[in-house]
């Protein structure tokens, strides 16, 4: 195994393509990613440079743009409901700003087909973006987040624990720690049963500090597991900057120490994320073992949001009273918003001649409508039946009520 990908490129390098590709105008597009591009060049076979997006059909690229919009509009609609609709009860750990990461990774996965063949995604935290990118049914997800009995998990899970194995979305636990280790267990099973499936775990910068992080990487490498660890470094775990929990500037440096090929990508640019994920998936399917991808990204909203938020007060979903030790400067938030994943993906597609401005706007209108309908449907769904609380503890039967004595 070679680790060329861990060798850092000089800071001036960008991801500009140099081979003959079917799109001859890619150089322009690369400029959009230049600002924070931190490419780690690696030697690939047959003259490939790893710009796999060159091979994507137009409709797939448009789907990626559409997915980014779905995640964004799901959250904007939900945030509006928190601010304005007193009957809305759902809360969320927001993903807005990070959409290109889930979208780019999931676009490189197998999402359709029998459960025994599709790739599995573990979302430790901020799951709605991962869930939408993996292809869950949005109306039932929205219903779940408002505790409805016809929600994706019958109202048992709510936002922090959503799950839909039928599309390979194993789900979220809202925890720092366990998800990556468990994901490595799924990867272990794939290898043992000689399946070409891969397991992906999304985890934040906060996960670095947990022993689980190190156990995951060590065992994934020792056993050459088909595991892709996507570290979404949005700079903050809850309210603390990641410098409180990790001595590295690039968390991927730690993965390199475990002998795992590691990339740093611009998490705001869906094409860069896709390229890195495709390389990782190809490697895993071919028996080449794990890959670590660190996506530099940012969340726009605060750590979480709940109903009853008041616009302008504590920045609505901005500054939180608990964030005393360390909180995000407003200028940092605004600087990252200049490199918005929605804008970047739209610009790339227009630049590549796949969409024009009018069609791009039309797609956004369609997505807004789809999300609005999802909320409308979800808000009409029935509430849970109290006694159902005693179901699903075991595969069969119910447990006794004990609260009445």
Partner 1 sequence: MAEKSWMYAVLEGVQQEMQQDPKMSWIFELTPPVASNPGMPVINLETEFGRKRVVNTGIDENWMASCVLGAALAGSKAATYIPYQGALIPFEVIQNVAGKLRHMTGGKATPGCVWVIEMTGQTPGFAGQHSCYEEDSYYAHIPGVRTVIPSTPYDAKGMMISALRSSDPVVYLYPAGLRTLQGEVPDEAYEVPLDKAAVRQEGNDLTIVSSGAGMPGVLEAAEKLTADGMSVEVIDLRVLKEMDTETLVNSVGKTKRLLTVDQSYYTLCPGAEVIARVAENVEGVKFKRIAFPDAPPPASPEMFTWMRPNAGHIIEAAKKMV
- Extract the tokens encoding 163: 């799950």
What part of residues 278-337 is at the interface with partner 1 (CB under 8 A)?
A: 322, 324-326
> Buried b / exposed e across 30-55, counting CB within 10 Å, b at 16+?
bebbeeebbbbebeeeeeebbbbbbe
When the beta carbons of 237 and 346 are compared against partner 1, the nearer one is: 237
When the beta carbons of 84 and 383 are compared against partner 1, the nearer one is: 383
> Buried b / exposed e across 220-259, counting CB within 10 Å, b at 16+?
bbebebbbbbbbbbbbbbbbbbbeebbeeebbbbbbbebb
Beta strands (DSSP E) in 94-163 are 120-123
**Binding track over 234-273 against partner 1, x by CB under 8 A:** ---xxxx---xxx---------------------------
When the beta carbons of 33 and 180 are compared against partner 1, the nearer one is: 180
Strand 240-241 to 120-123 pairing: unpaired
Q: Cβ(53)–Cβ(271) under 8 Å?
A: yes
**Binding track over 356-385 against partner 1, x by CB under 8 A:** ---------------------------xxx
Q: Cβ(186)–Cβ(193) under 8 Å?
A: no
Least distance between partner 1 and beta carbon 224 (Å): 27
Stretch that binds partner 1, among 24-32, 79-87, 151-159, 282-290 (CB under 8 A): 151-159
Q: Is 86 in the site for partner 1 (CB under 8 A)?
A: no
Site size toward partner 1 (CB under 8 A) is 49
Query: Which residues fall within 8 angstroms of residue 40, CB to CB, at 6 or more apart?
Result: 5, 6, 7, 8, 9, 262, 263, 264
What part of residues 171-200 is at the interface with partner 1 (CB under 8 A)?
A: 173-178
Stretch that binds partner 1, among 34-42, 64-72, 105-113, 157-165 (CB under 8 A): 157-165
Q: HSE (CB half, 13 Å, CA atoms) of 358?
A: 0
Pick from 51, 45, 60: nearest CA to 33: 51
When the beta carbons of 1 and 383 are compared against partner 1, the nearer one is: 383
When the beta carbons of 316 and 384 are compared against partner 1, the nearer one is: 384
Q: Is 74 in the site for partner 1 (CB under 8 A)?
A: no
Pick from 328, 341, 350: nearest CA to 267: 341
When the beta carbons of 24 and 397 are compared against partner 1, the nearer one is: 397
When the beta carbons of 111 and 245 are compared against partner 1, the nearer one is: 245
Give the binding site for partner 1 (CB under 8 A). 89, 91, 147, 149, 155-158, 160-161, 173-178, 206-211, 237-240, 244-246, 322, 324-326, 383-390, 393, 399-405
């Amino acid at each position: 195994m070679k680790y060329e990908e861990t060798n850092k490129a000089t800071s001036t390098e960008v991801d500009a393509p140099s081979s003959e590709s079917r799109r001859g105008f890619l150089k322009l597009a690369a400029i959009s990613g230049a600002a924070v591009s931190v490419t780690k060049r690696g030697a690939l076979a047959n003259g490939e440079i790893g710009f796999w997006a060159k091979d994507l059909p137009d409709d797939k690229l448009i789907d990626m743009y559409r997915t980014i919009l779905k995640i964004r509009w799901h959250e904007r609609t939900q945030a509006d409901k928190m601010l304005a609709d007193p009957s809305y009860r759902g809360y969320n750990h927001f993903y807005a700003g990070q959409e290109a990461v889930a979208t780019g990774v999931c676009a490189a996965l197998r999402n359709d087909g029998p459960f025994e063949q599709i790739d599995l995604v573990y979302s430790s935290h901020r799951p709605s973006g991962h869930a939408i990118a993996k292809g869950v049914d949005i109306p039932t997800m929205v219903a779940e987040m408002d505790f409805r009995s016809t929600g994706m998990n019958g109202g048992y899970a709510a936002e922090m624990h959503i799950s839909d194995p039928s599309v390979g979305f194993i789900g979220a636990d809202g925890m720092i720690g366990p998800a990556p280790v468990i994901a490595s267990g799924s990867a272990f099973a794939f290898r043992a049963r000689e399946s070409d499936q891969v397991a992906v775990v999304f985890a934040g910068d906060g996960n670095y500090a947990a022993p689980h992080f190190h156990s995951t990487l060590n065992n994934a490498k020792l056993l050459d597991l088909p595991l892709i660890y996507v570290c979404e470094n949005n700079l903050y775990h809850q309210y603390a900057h990641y410098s409180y929990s990790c001595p590295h500037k690039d968390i991927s440096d730690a993965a390199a120490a475990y002998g795992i090929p590691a990339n740093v990508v611009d998490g705001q640019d869906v094409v860069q994320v896709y390229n890195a994920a495709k390389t990782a998936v190809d490697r895993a399917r071919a028996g080449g073992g794990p890959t670590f991808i660190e996506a530099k990204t940012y969340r726009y909203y605060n750590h979480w949001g709940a109903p009853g938020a008041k616009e302008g007060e504590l920045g609505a979903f901005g500054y939180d009273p608990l964030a005393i030790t360390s909180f995000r400067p407003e200028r940092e938030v605004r600087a990252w918003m200049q490199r918005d994943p929605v804008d970047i993906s739209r610009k790339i597609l227009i630049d590549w001649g796949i969409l024009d401005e009018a069609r791009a706007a039309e797609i956004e209108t369609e997505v807004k409508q789809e999300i609005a309908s999802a909320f409308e449907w979800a808000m009409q769904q029935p509430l849970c039946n109290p006694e159902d609380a005693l179901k699903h503890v075991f595969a069969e039967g119910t447990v006794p009520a004990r609260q009445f004595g």
